């Protein structure tokens, strides 16, 4: 396989000059001095908490062949100097996209971005060389980093695009230039930056502005903003618009859904065809994500039977519905890890899964953390979870965070076993109150740090 970039390509793409940078090629790119691949180029970007220029010497000592640095911040040898390191990274990303003949997919949405991206990746990897975003590298530095890492030989590329304010998705989409643009759903999220959910839909619709000519917009139809998205796609000149979901008018419609233990089975209708789909994770929302991946693969020309076979092995990513049976087979503790993020749509979906989950040997436990960045209506939105929590059948409810006070008040003291301000406070209590035979779901926004509770449960009951 050819190198990721030759030195000539790096200098031409970025307009860089070198300070003692005797390199011929690179095979990987990193912004973390602790995580360097072979023949790595370290890019010294300035983040919210750290400035990569402070770690250039460490990266070079740890094996980076060179460092891409901003003008005036070169440190020691083997530095490639550009006006701005992040802009230089975008230049490399742009070059990676220009030279690629891959089918490129970009995924955004209020809920389900990462799971849908992973489902698409699962299918594509089954049929050819695939490059996909890792974790949730979906912002102004994560997207160019992921795109710059895409080898020239790639057949399929899958990228996640995120945003917290209007105007953030358009430049990412114009950089990725997707052949297929997916919007998973629209829901209340990042409301601190928006006056309405329609504003969120308009911001997500920026993805259409980078869509390649003759590209396709693939839209989940199961939300009230679908007409707004279709209108936005048409206004952006998109001709090919395809819908999916449970909605009766969807091009890819789920007409039957059955949950059996840790598996979901569904009948999917597409035109005159009907076929069966099975994935290794329960939940209506998870099936919708799987159908999105199936529609993407069809648009990319993948054989449908092969795509369905690939999805049969698909399960939820870490922190997004992953299910773990801990302990003895006969009487395990079931842990459902939804700790990565939360808004009202994903919280309701997770509680629906909990409602379908049994705990024959113990308690059904819900550990729910704050849903952050919901703006002035946060209290109302948290309180609105009451019916879903009750319908889940959880007989032990633990709430974490100041915003959950509204839900605690709605549920009443007799239903909430414990409400604390921090995950650390709950961690001191929860391990002694759980037992084998329990079914436990942990759900909250990432910054509430419920992942630490997940790790503690796994360690105690392994």
> What average pLDDT score do residues 321-328 get?
90
Closest to 366 measured CA to CA, from 400, 332, 342, 341: 400
Among the residue ranges 36-40, 163-167, 316-320, the one predicted with the least confidence is 316-320
How distant, in Å, are the alpha carbons of 183, 238, 247, 299, 338 from that of 242?
11, 11, 13, 10, 29
Cα dihedral 14→16→18→19 (10° resolution):
-110
Between residues 341 and 20, the one the model is more confident about: 341
Q: Which residue has the tokens 């230039």?
A: 177
pLDDT at 75 over 70: no
DSSP string over 105-172 = EEEE-SS-HHHHHHHHHHHHHHHS-EEE--TT--STTHHHHHHHT--TT-SEEEEE---SSTTSHHHH
Tens-place pLDDT, residues 85-114? 999 999 999 999 999 999 999 999 998 999
Report pLDDT for 22: 66
CATH pick for 100-311 out of 3.60.20.40, 3.40.1190.10, 1.10.10.10, 3.40.50.720:
3.40.1190.10
Tens-place pLDDT, residues 375-425? 889 999 999 999 999 999 999 999 999 999 999 999 999 999 999 999 999
pLDDT at 190 over 80: no
Burial class of residue 462, CB neighbours in 10 A (0-12, 13-18, 19+)? exposed
Euclidean distance between CA atoms 206 and 195, whole angstroms: 17
Tens-place pLDDT, residues 326-345? 998 888 999 999 998 899 98
Between residues 189 and 275, the one the model is more confident about: 275
Report pLDDT for 223: 94
Strands 396-400 and 416-420: parallel
Q: Which residue has the tokens 């009451």?
A: 386
- Which CATH fold would you assign to the domain 5-85? 3.40.1390
pLDDT at 1 over 80: no
Q: 318 a known binding residue? A: no
271's tokens: 């035109």
DSSP string over 51-114 = BGGGGHHHHHHTT-SEEEEETT---SSSEEEES-HHHHHHHHHHHHHHT--SEEEEEE-SS-HH
Report pLDDT for 19: 67
> What average pLDDT score do residues 170-197 get?
90
> What average pLDDT score do residues 133-153 get?
95
Q: Kindly state the percentage of the chain with pLDDT values over 90.
A: 81
Q: 462 a known binding residue? A: no
For residue 166, what are the contacts with CB-CB under 8 A and spacing of at least 6? 193, 194, 199, 202, 203, 206
Report pLDDT for 359: 85
Name the CATH superfamily housing domain 322-461: Mur ligase, C-terminal domain (3.90.190.20)
Contact at 8 Å (CB) between 296 and 288?
Answer: no
Q: 362 a known binding residue? A: no
Q: 344 a known binding residue? A: no
pLDDT at 281 over 80: yes
Sheet holding 322-326, edge to edge: 322-326, 333-338, 439-443, 364-369, 396-400, 416-420
Q: Give 76's pLDDT tier (boundaries 50, 70, 90).
A: low
Q: 210 a known binding residue? A: no
Q: Which residue has the tokens 């002694």?
A: 432
Q: Kindly state the percentage of the chain with pLDDT values over 70.
A: 98
The CA R_g of the chain, rounded to the nearest whole Å, is 23
Among the residue ranges 29-38, 117-126, 256-265, the one predicted with the least confidence is 256-265
pLDDT at 259 over 90: no
pLDDT at 263 over 90: no
Euclidean distance between CA atoms 9 and 152, whole angstroms: 13
Neighbours of 184 (CB within 10 A): 29
Report pLDDT for 18: 78
Q: 109 a known binding residue? A: yes
Domain boundaries, the chain: 5-85, 100-311, 322-461
Q: What is the residue-averaged pLDDT of the chain?
A: 93
State the DSSP H helix or E strand holding residue 337, giving kind and residue range, or none if neither. strand 333-338
Q: 111 a known binding residue? A: yes
Report pLDDT for 319: 83
Beta bridge partners of 245: 253
Q: Is the pTM of this model over 0.85?
A: yes
Report pLDDT for 428: 86
303's tokens: 């054989």
């Amino acid at each position: 396989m050819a190198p990721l970039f030759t030195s000539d390509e790096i200098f031409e793409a970025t307009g860089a000059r070198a300070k003692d940078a005797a390199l011929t090629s690179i095979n990987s790119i990193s912004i973390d001095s602790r995580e360097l691949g072979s023949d790595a180029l370290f890019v010294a970007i300035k983040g919210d908490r750290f400035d990569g220029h402070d770690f250039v010497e460490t990266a070079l000592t740890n094996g980076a062949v060179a460092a891409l640095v901003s003008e005036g911040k070169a440190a020691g040898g083997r530095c490639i100097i550009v006006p701005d390191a992040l802009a230089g990274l975008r230049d490399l990303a742009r070059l990676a996209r220009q030279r690629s003949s891959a089918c490129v997919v970009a995924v955004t949405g209020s809920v389900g971005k990462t799971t849908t991206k992973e489902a698409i990746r699962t299918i594509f990897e089954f049929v050819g060389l695939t490059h996909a975003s890792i974790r949730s590298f979906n912002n102004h530095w994560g997207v160019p980093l992921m795109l710059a890492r895409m080898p020239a030989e790639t057949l399929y590329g899958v990228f996640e695009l995120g945003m917290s304010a209007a105007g953030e998705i358009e430049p990412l989409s114009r950089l990725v230039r997707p052949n297929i643009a997916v919007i998973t759903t629209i829901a209340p999220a990042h409301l601190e930056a928006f006056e309405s959910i329609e504003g969120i839909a308009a911001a997500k619709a920026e993805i259409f502005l980078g869509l390649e000519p003759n590209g396709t917009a693939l839209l989940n139809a199961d939300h009230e903003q679908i007409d707004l998205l279709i209108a936005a796609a048409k206004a952006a000149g998109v001709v090919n618009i395809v819908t999916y979901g449970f909605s009766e008018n969807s091009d890819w419609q789920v007409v039957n859904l059955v949950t059996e233990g840790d598996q979901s089975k569904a009948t999917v209708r597409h035109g005159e065809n009907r076929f069966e789909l099975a994935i290794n994770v329960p939940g209506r929302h998870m099936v919708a994500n799987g159908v999105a991946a199936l529609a993407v693969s069809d648009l990319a020309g993948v054989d449908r039977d092969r795509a369905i076979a690939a999805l049969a092995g698909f399960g939820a990513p870490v922190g997004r519905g992953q299910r773990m049976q801990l302990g003895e087979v006969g009487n395990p503790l079931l842990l459902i890890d939804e700790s990565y993020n939360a808004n009202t749509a994903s919280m309701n979906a997770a509680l629906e899964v909990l409602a379908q989950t049994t705990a024959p040997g113990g308690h059904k436990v819900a550990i729910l953390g704050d849903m952050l960045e919901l703006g002035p209506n946060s209290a109302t939105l948290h309180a609105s979870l009451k019916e879903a929590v009750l319908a889940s059948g959880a007989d032990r409810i633990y709430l974490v965070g100041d915003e959950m006070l509204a839900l605690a008040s709605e549920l009443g003291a007799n239903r909430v076993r414990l409400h604390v301000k921090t995950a650390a406070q709950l961690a001191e209590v929860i391990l002694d109150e759980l037992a084998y035979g329990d079914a436990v779901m942990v759900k909250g926004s990432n910054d509430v740090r419920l992942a630490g509770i997940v790790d503690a449960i796994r360690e105690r009951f392994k």
